């Protein structure tokens, strides 16, 4: 409103003169209902698109983070195993592979529903034709389907990889313990890879202790499923540092004290003793698997099957004839069990114990925590009897069939004795003692080896030449092993596990 001071009439009558803006005629027109609905629809569509983009971005970021987390776990496993294997000398070690499968559900809800978690390992058409439902049918018949329960194998060997103690002595009482306390690198060591039992930590008097309420993956419910869902399984790496000395063949303390190594937690009551170090005569132990000259009643293990050892319920291992299997003498089996499950529960294959949710005070000492969420761990090998796998074979670069990886049967334990010149010579001596094998009392160890053209010979066809000991290469260890893991995201952000394999060829 404007006051028109130049209009005397307006001033006389006290009236105000209103000036409207140009182009405004007072029509009062607004938005129609249709226009508002269209605008609202456009706004809703825009919000939906923004929400969708935000949701996809968030899901992608979560998936990427999950993949990165699980890949880090798988990479750590691969790095640890590869470094351990690179430091392994087959002539001064034994190689132990225990095959194990365990029926399990992926999560607790699926366990309550009785739904199995299985992995396709064979021909899917064969599985479909058998009518087998891998989620609910039990047990899985390997002859009629191509599914496997989760593998939970165990791998053990000795390695010269320099390693520092994960739980050094609190009050060092010797030069060896003092070295560990100061962080010295130590070798040789024993390493064991296998699924661990779970435990919890409780605080008593200001110190952390363990509840000893162990949960093993082989403890099963009424459906035969592991009471631990596979999502809670934990692959562990146990290392034991050897204070090598003469006079003690086995571990130098009572089995009750051995869980300190499993948990990698030093016990103050054991003054001066590191939690992951023991007194052990490794050279004497290895000698138990070497030829025993003139020993009364002893068995030269290299002449028997290099694979099977006695397990619960009978023999085990790959062998063309039961006569080649190791005997049932308990001393021979104890050579393996006392270092594989010392102080543990052999029934449950107790190789290690981990804390599922470690308190902050213990998170800097997780020496055996390796791969949480590992739902599959399998170790396979290339037969030492098949020289086509060897780099030195004259036709190795012309092999047309793929290498045949051999899996260890569930429930069986394969032990490969030291691949030493003494053991090789012992096997070759079998043929020298009975070159024609006329006695035929039992198949000779050397008879299981395939023919090999000797180095330097001209090879015109695979395995040409006479089938004699001179055309054989005796090996006590596999040409290579392959370890495969499947790791899931324990928070459920990934639909499928991350798969990682480590292949190592022994020299």
DSSP letters of 452-489?
Answer: -PPTTSPPSSTT-S--SGGG----SS-SEEEEEEEE--
pLDDT single digits (tens) 192-251? 999 999 988 887 777 677 777 889 999 999 989 999 999 999 999 998 888 776 555 444
Q: Which range of residues forms the domain containing residue 365?
A: 67-104+149-385+405-430+481-505
pTM value? 0.81
Q: Compute the distance between CA of residue 250 and CA of residue 282 in angstroms, rounded to an integer.
A: 9
Q: Compute the distance between CA of residue 340 and CA of residue 351 in angstroms, rounded to an integer.
A: 7
pLDDT of amino acid 296: 46
Q: Compute the distance between CA of residue 115 and CA of residue 109 in angstroms, rounded to an integer.
A: 9
CA dihedral for 52, 56, 62, 66, sign (positive or negative): positive
Q: Which residue has the higher pLDDT, 487 or 42?
A: 487
In a domain, 263, yes or no: yes
In a domain, 46, yes or no: no
User: 409: helix, coil or strand?
Assistant: coil
In a domain, 33, yes or no: no
pLDDT band of 6, cuts 50, 70, 90: low
Report the domain count for the chain.
Answer: 1
User: Pairing mode, if any, of strands 189-195 and 185-186?
Assistant: unpaired
User: 113: helix, coil or strand?
Assistant: coil
Element (H, E) at 238: strand 234-244
Q: Which residues contact 379 (CB under 8 A, 6 or more apart)?
A: 97, 153, 155, 408, 481, 482, 483
Instruction: Report the range of poorest mean pLDDT among 17-26, 81-90, 109-118, 347-356.
Output: 17-26
Q: Compute the distance between CA of residue 386 and CA of residue 399 in angstroms, rounded to an integer.
A: 12
Range 135-165 burial, b when 16+ CB lie within 10 A, else e: eeeeebeeeebbbbbbbbbbbbbbbebebbb
**Segments in 6-160 forming alpha helices (H):** 8-13, 33-86, 108-112, 124-130
Average pLDDT over residues 501-506: 95
Q: What is the mean pLDDT of the chain?
A: 77
pLDDT of amino acid 265: 62
pLDDT band of 328, cuts 50, 70, 90: very low
User: 103: helix, coil or strand?
Assistant: coil
Average pLDDT over residues 26-37: 74
What is the CB neighbour count within 10 angstroms for residue 194? 25
Q: Which residues contact 223 (CB under 8 A, 6 or more apart)?
A: 111, 114, 138
In a domain, 336, yes or no: yes
**Segments in 87-174 forming alpha helices (H):** 108-112, 124-130
Element (H, E) at 283: helix 282-287
Instruction: Report the range of poorest mean pLDDT among 45-49, 168-172, 236-240, 301-305.
Output: 301-305
In a domain, 261, yes or no: yes
In percent, the amount of the chain with pLDDT more than 70 equals 68
Burial status of residue 379 (CB atoms within 10 A of its CB: 0-12, 13-18, 19 or more) = buried
Q: Which residues contact 247 (CB under 8 A, 6 or more apart)?
A: 281
Element (H, E) at 176: helix 175-181
pLDDT of amino acid 243: 78
In a domain, 250, yes or no: yes
pLDDT band of 27, cuts 50, 70, 90: low
Average pLDDT over residues 61-72: 89
**Segments in 182-277 forming alpha helices (H):** 259-263
pLDDT of amino acid 304: 66
Residue 151 has pLDDT above 70, yes or no: yes
In a domain, 378, yes or no: yes
pLDDT of amino acid 411: 84
Torsion (CA) 341, 343, 346, 348 in degrees, nearest 10: -100
Element (H, E) at 337: helix 330-340
What is the CB neighbour count within 10 angstroms for residue 305? 23
Q: Are 446 and 429 in contact (CB under 8 A)?
A: no
Instruction: Report the range of poorest mean pLDDT among 273-282, 346-355, 393-402.
Output: 393-402
Q: Which two tokens stand for residue 319?
A: 């062998």
Q: Compute the distance between CA of residue 330 and CA of residue 182 in angstroms, rounded to an integer.
A: 40
Q: Which two tokens stand for residue 350?
A: 């107790």
pLDDT of amino acid 71: 95
Instruction: Report the range of poorest mean pLDDT among 18-22, 89-93, 223-227.
Output: 18-22
Among candidates 148, 116, 146, which has minimal Cα distance to 129?
A: 146
User: Pairing mode, if any, of strands 197-199 and 353-355?
Assistant: parallel
Element (H, E) at 429: helix 421-433
Average pLDDT over residues 26-41: 78
In percent, the amount of the chain with pLDDT more than 90 equals 28
Q: Which two tokens stand for residue 291?
A: 């030829």
Q: Are 167 and 276 in contact (CB under 8 A)?
A: yes
In a domain, 38, yes or no: no
- The whole-angstrom distance between residue 462's C-alpha and the CA centroid of its chain comes to 36
């Amino acid at each position: 409103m404007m006051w028109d001071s130049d209009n005397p009439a307006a001033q006389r009558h006290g009236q105000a003169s209103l000036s409207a803006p140009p182009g405004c005629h007072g029509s009062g027109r607004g938005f129609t209902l249709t226009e508002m609905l269209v605008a609202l629809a456009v706004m809703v569509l825009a919000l939906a698109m923004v929400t969708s983009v935000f949701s996809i971005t968030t899901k992608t970021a979560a998936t990427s983070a999950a993949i990165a987390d699980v890949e880090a776990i798988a990479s750590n496993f691969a790095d640890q195993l590869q470094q351990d294997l690179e430091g392994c000398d087959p002539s001064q070690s034994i190689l132990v592979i225990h095959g194990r499968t365990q029926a399990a559900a992926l999560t607790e809800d699926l366990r309550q529903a009785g739904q199995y978690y299985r992995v396709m390992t064979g021909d899917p058409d064969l599985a479909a034709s058998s009518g087998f439902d891998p989620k609910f049918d039990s047990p899985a018949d390997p002859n009629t389907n191509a599914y496997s329960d989760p593998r939970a194998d165990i791998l053990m060997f000795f390695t010269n990889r320099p390693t520092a103690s994960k739980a050094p002595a609190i009050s060092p009482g010797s030069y060896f313990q003092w070295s560990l306390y100061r962080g010295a690198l130590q070798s040789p060591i024993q390493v064991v890879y296998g699924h661990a039992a779970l435990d919890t930590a409780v605080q008593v008097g200001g110190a952390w202790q363990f509840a000893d309420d162990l949960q093993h993956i082989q403890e099963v419910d009424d459906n035969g499923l592991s009471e631990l869902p596979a999502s809670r399984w934990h692959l562990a790496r146990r290392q034991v540092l050897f204070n090598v000395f003469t006079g003690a063949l086995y571990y130098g303390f009572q089995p009750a004290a051995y869980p300190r190594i499993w948990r990698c937690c030093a016990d103050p009551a054991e003054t001066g003793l590191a939690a992951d170090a023991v007194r052990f005569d490794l050279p004497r132990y290895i000698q138990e698997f070497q030829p025993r000259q003139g020993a009364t009643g002893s068995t030269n293990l290299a002449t028997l099957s290099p694979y099977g050892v006695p397990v619960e319920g009978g023999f085990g291992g790959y062998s063309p004839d039961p006569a080649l299997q190791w005997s049932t003498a308990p001393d021979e089996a104890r050579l393996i069990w006392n270092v594989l499950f010392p102080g543990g529960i052999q029934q449950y294959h107790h190789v290690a114990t981990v804390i599922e949710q470690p308190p902050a005070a213990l998170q800097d000492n997780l020496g055996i925590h390796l791969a949480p969420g590992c739902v599959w761990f399998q170790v396979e090998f290339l037969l030492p009897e098949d020289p086509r796998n060897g780099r030195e074979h004259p036709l190795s670069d012309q092999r047309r069939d793929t290498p045949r990886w051999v899996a260890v049967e569930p429930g069986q334990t394969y032990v490969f004795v030291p691949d030493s010149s003494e053991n090789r010579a012992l096997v070759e001596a079998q043929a020298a003692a009975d070159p024609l094998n006329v006695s035929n009392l039992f198949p000779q160890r050397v008879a299981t080896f395939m023919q090999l053209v000797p180095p330097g010979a001209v090879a015109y066809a695979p395995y040409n030449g006479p089938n004699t000991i001179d055309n054989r290469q005796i090996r006590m260890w596999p040409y290579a092993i392959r370890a495969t893991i499947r790791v899931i995201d324990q928070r459920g952000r990934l639909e499928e596990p991350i798969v990682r394999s480590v292949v190592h060829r022994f020299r």
